[in-house]
Amino acid sequence: MKLQTLVDKASQCNGKTVAVAAAEDYGVIQSIVEAVNKEIASFLLFGNKERIVELLESAELGLSTHHNIKIIHSSSASLSAEQAVRAVKRNEANVLMKGNIPTAQLLKAVLNKEYGMRTGNILSHTAVFEVPGFKKFMLITDSGINISPDLEQKRQIIQNSVRVARSIGIEMPKVAPLAAVEAVNPAMQATLDAAALTVMNARGQITDCIVDGPLALDNAVSAAAAEHKGISGSVAGQADILLVPSIETGNILYKSFVYFAKAKVGGIIAGASAPIVLTSRSDSAENKLYSLALAVCFVQES
């Protein structure tokens, strides 16, 4: 599967709007220009108006006056985050996007009790990868928000990622809770949680997916490796979603896909009242575009 298919799908989802906090970032502006050109969404850009106009003009002459872009001046990054979140709260926008602002500062506005985007569910990041040599998307969760999730948090992280998977056409995603080994070992918490999540799925406490673990990475994604080790089951070698045990594991796996496997990626935070595009400054404009397309597809199917 190609992430370009998400761009094509998102371009058919009319009327979606993205609120961007602290939009004065060249990489973010590049992705916005591309998204506008491909008719993926309209944009509300909050931040330093003079700088945003300058960046838009450098990206494509005249785009700062495009009818699908509205610039709202903010005197500070924190105010731009509040304004962007309020826009989502008032249903003026369907998606929130991080610009040139620290993640913690943006999430502070997202979690504000007065005007924020709380739902009572955990927030978690799901990344969708197009990996060379693989014929389908590979999803990783959570590589960006939850540091060391407990069992209940992992359950909610799975449900968030399943919603993301279903929004891109994976109707019954197969979830592999990752660990270093396939056997349950009381000394390894990741294996205990994986076994518990498998039982919770069988009992209907985790829905719309198939969970089976613990599985090591090779046995989760390679049918040959699973067969060689005598590991059976409906997820072994066929995983769609890789649930990592900690943020360190997720971060390393995410960056390994990008830098070693040359994978393309789009990612969003789910669990709030609207999807949040939370890209890294090191992400390419192309990957930021894929994240925007993923968010629009998520809204369309929610």
Predicted TM-score (pTM) of the model is 0.94
Q: 274: Cβ–Cβ under 8 A, 6 or more apart, which residues?
A: 88, 93, 94, 95, 96, 117, 299
pLDDT class for 63, splitting at 50, 70, 90?
low
Q: What is the pLDDT of residues 4-48, one digit of tens each?
A: 999 999 999 888 999 999 999 988 998 998 999 899 999 999 999
Mean pLDDT, the chain, as a whole number? Answer: 93
pLDDT at 60 over 80: no
Q: What tokens does 297 get?
A: 């597809």
Neighbours of 186 (CB within 10 A): 7
Phi, psi of 17, rounded to the nearest 5 degrees: -130, 140
- Lookup: tokens for 126: 């799901």
Percent of the chain with pLDDT over 90: 80
pLDDT score of 301 more than 90: no
The length of the chain, given as a count of residues:
302
Peptide bond into 149 cis (omega under 30): no
Quick check: 290 and 265 in contact, CB under 8 A? Answer: yes
Mean pLDDT of 68-91: 95
For 142-182, the pLDDT digits (tens) are 998 999 999 999 999 999 999 999 999 999 999 999 999 99
Structure tokens at 31: 């992705």
| pLDDT in the model for residue 14 | 81
Q: What is the rounded CA–CA span in Å between residue 68 and residue 52?
A: 15
- Over residues 184-198, the pLDDT tens digits come to 999 999 999 999 999
Distances (CA, A) of 88 to 44, 69, 114: 10, 16, 13
